[in-house]
Structure 1
Amino acid sequence: MTVSKLLTTLLAPFVLLLPLVVSPAWAETRLPLMTVYKSPSCGCCGDWITHMKQNGFEVKVQDTHNLNPIKMKAGLTPEIASCHTAFVDGYVVEGHVPASDVKRMLTERPAIKGLSAPGMPVGSPGMEMGDRVDPYDVVSFDEEGSVKVYRSYR
């Protein structure tokens, strides 16, 4: 047996397994593009965008000096508003919502308009301040204006 035939015989099983090693079936599927509208001077928005990218989202950033028309079009009321507004796969994501909640929403596909972390809760993604973490809720909201707790952080 030639060396080349011997190598082919020995390596053939590993070559067949290569696609599983390079792109395992259990790997997370690609997340949809997220478009984020924010003020050009807002640092916490940039930190939240970094959080989303670190969690697998591709993010397109749109800086604007007037977020009000975007928030109004998204159906956001002052009670659930925050500093930045994002759109992903037909949903609205307002403020410092953790990536895990956005992924859950995209997986479960609830009949809601979107999620919000109202205000700017300390300790939420992008709003880290050392060890301080204030309790906050991520809420869901729908077309009729109904707001419900989606997940509580305590």
Structure 2
Amino acid sequence: MADDGYGHQPYPSADLNRVKNDYGIASGYQSCHTAVTSEGCVFEGHIPARVVQPLLENPPEAAIGLSVPGMPAGSPGMAMGDRFMPNQVWLLKQDSLAEVFASVISRDQQQGI
């Protein structure tokens, strides 16, 4: 994310599961990384930078953030040679609801804003 112009400040947590629960990230949408903006928008997992800005600029009603569950091969931070696993970026909503926000079907869709 830093390469795409997003500042960050790492904050290790001894109880990351509590953080995920506090922000309403349902277990099926959890991953290895959790980021929270100063406004309380959550970003869970290996989300392409190109889908972050549209959410920040125009958040849908009841949205709490975005998630890429698991650790798909070839997603940002998960480079594995030529391996790539298509995946979906989920729009997380209040009350543990979610819907597809973006589909990532090629490696090129991981890059840029």
TM-score range, shorter chain: 0.7 to 0.9
Partner of 1:95: 45
Partner of 2:91: 140
Aligned ranges 1:3-152 → 2 under 5 Å? 52-88=1-37, 89-111=39-61, 112-152=63-103
Q: Count how many residue pairs are aligned between Structure 1 and Structure 2.
A: 103
Partner SS for 1:152 = strand
Q: 2 CA distance for matches of 1:58 and 1:119? A: 23
The residue type paired with residue 32 of structure 2 is C
Residues 48 and 75 in structure 2, CA contact (< 8 A), matched pair in contact too: yes
Q: 2 CA distance for matches of 1:144 and 1:69? A: 17
Higher relative CO (Cα under 8 Å, sequence separation at least 6) belongs to 2
Q: 1 CA distance for matches of 2:102 and 2:53? A: 13
CA RMSD of aligned residues (A): 1.1
How far has the Cα of 1:66 moved from its partner?
2.1
Of the two, which has the highest radius of gyration? Answer: 1
Amino-acid identity (%):
40
Q: 2 CA distance for matches of 1:149 and 1:54? A: 25
How far has the Cα of 1:107 moved from its partner?
1.4
How far has the Cα of 1:77 moved from its partner?
1.4
Q: 1 CA distance for matches of 2:21 and 2:80? A: 30
**Structure 1 segments unaligned to the other structure (5+ residues):** 1-51
Residues 24 and 95 in structure 2, CA contact (< 8 A), matched pair in contact too: no
The list of structure 1 runs, each at least 4 consecutive aligned residues, that deviate by more than 6 angstroms after superposition, is none
Give TM-score, length-normalised by structure 1: 0.64
Give TM-score, length-normalised by structure 2: 0.86
Q: 1 CA distance for matches of 2:25 and 2:47? A: 15
Partner SS for 2:89 = strand
Q: 1 CA distance for matches of 2:40 and 2:11? A: 17
Write out per-residue CA displacement over residues 6-52 of structure 1, whole angstroms, 9 at most, x where no aligned residue.
xxxxxxxxxxxxxxxxxxxxxxxxxxxxxxxxxxxxxxxxxxxxxx0
